[in-house]
Amino acid sequence: MSELLFYAMAVIALLGGLGVIFSKSPMGSVLSLLGSFFALAVIYLLAGFHFMAAVQILVYAGAIMVLFLFVIMLLNLGGMGTRFELSAAPLTRARSQIAAAVAAGVGLAGLIAVQRASLPRIAQGGAPERIDDINQIAIALFGRYSLPFQAVSVLLLTTMVAVLVLAKRRTRESGQ
Amino acid sequence: MEVPLPLIWLVKIVVIFGGLVSTAALMSLAERKVSAWMQYRIGPNRVGPFGLLQPLADGVKFIFKEELIPAGANKFMFRLAPALSAAPAMLTMAVIPIGGTVVLGEYSIPLSIADVDIGVLFLLAFSGLSIYGVILGGWASNSKYSLLGGLRASAQMISYELTLILTILAVVALEGTLNLRTISENQQHVGEWNIWTQPLAFVLFTITMFAETNRHPFDFAECEPELVGGFHTEYSAMRFALYFLGEYCAMTVLSCLNATLFLGGPSVPFWPEAPWFVGIAAFCLKAGFFLFLFLWVRWSLPRMRFDQLMRLGWKVFLPLALANLLITGGFIAFGAH
Amino acid sequence: MNVPSEHLFFLSAGLFSLGVLGFLVRRNVIVTLMCVELMLNAANLAFLAASRMHSTPEALDVQGPVFSIFVITVAAAEAAVGLALVIALYRLKQSVESDSASEMKG
């Protein structure tokens, strides 16, 4: 039963990915990506990562995709009317074939790598029901990985400053 | 003896969701009744005793009304948006413990649909999704008013969600668990209620509730004089009602969450070994108080301006919530906890 | 769930290549950013699959989740900066196509 659900969700995640690429409007892309993220969250749940599933929905669906939607709406507002489409003109045939070949190559390389490499499998038998224990994650995050943790927090601060500088409308200086 | 019989699950789901939806329906009546009382009017009193069947009549009316979809609207998203707005609010009710454990004969039934050990995260994750209904509804309507209303509402919800999360985080840090059931069981006695240890978080949470649900005094999304009806300007009939159902459900869930986090959930003051039905009554009373507060504030305070609201959120509430979290962390680390 | 962890890796590879395809094909910068998000998600899935492969009921391996948390944080930062750039580009060129930013002098 849960196996079936896994494969169904895998298919939805891949379809969502396709939807991102081939939808006409950016809004459609956002919704497809959202569907893909939800399917991934369900997969995380099934694979025993309850916390990561919640984080996936909280951060990706609840924050990052909202940001995308927000920018699309803002640009719609700045454009001419609400129907202003933001989609790009199609590429030439040759270039898109090259792109498809590259993507297929990357995917195939990954598949072959997983198939060929005898992955060091420590867990014999079934994986545990619940893998991401919050206490253990916290201990790892604030113990062994406290340096990257602090680096990431500095990155977030830098991002905040950078975004403010980039998005601030310059009113008094020259230019716009 | 714990028996997760499918029948018990089904009954729990039906009772709790039924309770939520009927609370939402009753809120639509209470909104009008309380407004009437505060303005020295009578309010709806024709349908049923004391007008109690008014929500039913409204529902029938909404179902039979003609539904309009504006020309040029994105039909798919226009239809999807109200459901996206209502569903997350209803889903989050699943993790809220209405009462303790009910012992019926040989069965002991915990009174929440899902006893998730990351319940708080689940709740935050799904309540954050209700913003999609607002944004998409505003965008798909193909109307300037809707778009502006949607933009405003979403900016407001994003800003105040931070404060909401930070205040909840202070409680979570104090309790050391993300499980809502454990949090509510840790507050059996009235002296253990988190409102005593986290008064600032309680006040911030209570005010933020209003902003999160787009209620007065923060209801710019539907600011009538400026934006007609906000993001649901173009909606009619049942889809319009669905937005309201979502709003009332979100109000109910947040009130229940407030009661659980700060007021000890189903605990009865000075009567720790109260039977379970008294606990449920106490829980409903506490949640009901916050629901009444929504209406009370609506007729007591003037609406704020949008820039005032943003300034309040980012420059007052967020620093206060951060400081509260910092002090709480300091007490946990260095205090005699 | 009895799905072997390899299948999680296969899904991850598939999502990643879709992200690569979109990144190369689409010229709308917003969609390009979304494809980057898709690739980062594929990476997350791979981290978690590896973690699942290494976990036993006695000794859980939480390095996968920890790295996923880092990836998610970086993804959020990337999205924020990327979208701020999109807004800046739109202000400058009235367009969100990556080709419109091909001049050296703005």
> Mind listing the domains of chain C with CATH numbers?
5-93 (1.10.287.3510)
Alpha carbons A130 and A141: distance in angstroms, whole number: 18
Q: Give the total residue count for chain C.
A: 106
CA distance A81 to chain B (A): 8
Residue B331 has pLDDT above 50, yes or no: yes
CA distance C22 to chain A (A): 5
Mean residue pLDDT of chain B comes to 85
Q: Domains of chain B: which residue ranges?
A: 6-334
Closest-CA residue of A relative to C79 is: A64
Using a CB-CB cut-off of 8 Å, the residues of chain B touching A50 are: 116-118
Work out the percent of chain B whose per-residue pLDDT is above 90. 21
The mean-pLDDT minimum among A133-137, B112-116, B186-190 falls in B112-116
CA distance A63 to chain C (A): 8
Closest-CA residue of B relative to A83 is: B142
pLDDT score recorded for residue A86: 47
| Structure-token match 């809502």, residue found | B180
pLDDT score recorded for residue B192: 86
Contact call for A59 and C35, based on CB within 8 A: no
Q: Which of A72-86, B211-225, B248-262 has the highest mean pLDDT?
A: B248-262
Using a CB-CB cut-off of 8 Å, the residues of chain C touching A107 are: 13-14, 16-18, 20
Which of C 8-47 lie inside 8 A of A, CB atoms? 8-22, 24-28, 30-31, 33-35, 37-38, 41, 44-45
Whether B and A touch, i.e. at least 3 CB pairs below 8 A, reads as: yes
Nearest neighbour of A88 by CB, restricted to C12, C26, C53: C26
Mutation site for A-interface testing, chosen from B158, B159, B175 by largest number of A Cβ within 10 Å: B158
Hey, what amino acid is at A29?
A: S
Q: What angle do CA B286, B289, B290 make, to 5 degrees?
A: 100
Phi and psi dihedrals of B269, rounded to 5?
A: -60, 135
Instruction: Give the pLDDT mean for A144-166.
Output: 93
Q: Which of C73, C66, C31 is nearest to C47 (CA)?
A: C66
What ipTM does the predicted assembly reach?
A: 0.89
Helix, strand and coil content of chain C, in percent to the nearest 5, comes to 75, 0, 20
> pTM value?
0.87
Q: Decide if C35 contacts C19 (C-beta within 8 A).
A: yes
Q: For C40, what's the count of Cα atoms within 13 Å in the CB-facing half-sphere?
A: 23
Q: What angle do CA A70, A73, A76 make, to 5 degrees?
A: 150
Q: Which of B183, B63, B65 is nearest to B120 (CA)?
A: B183
Sign of CA dihedral A10, A12, A14, A16: negative
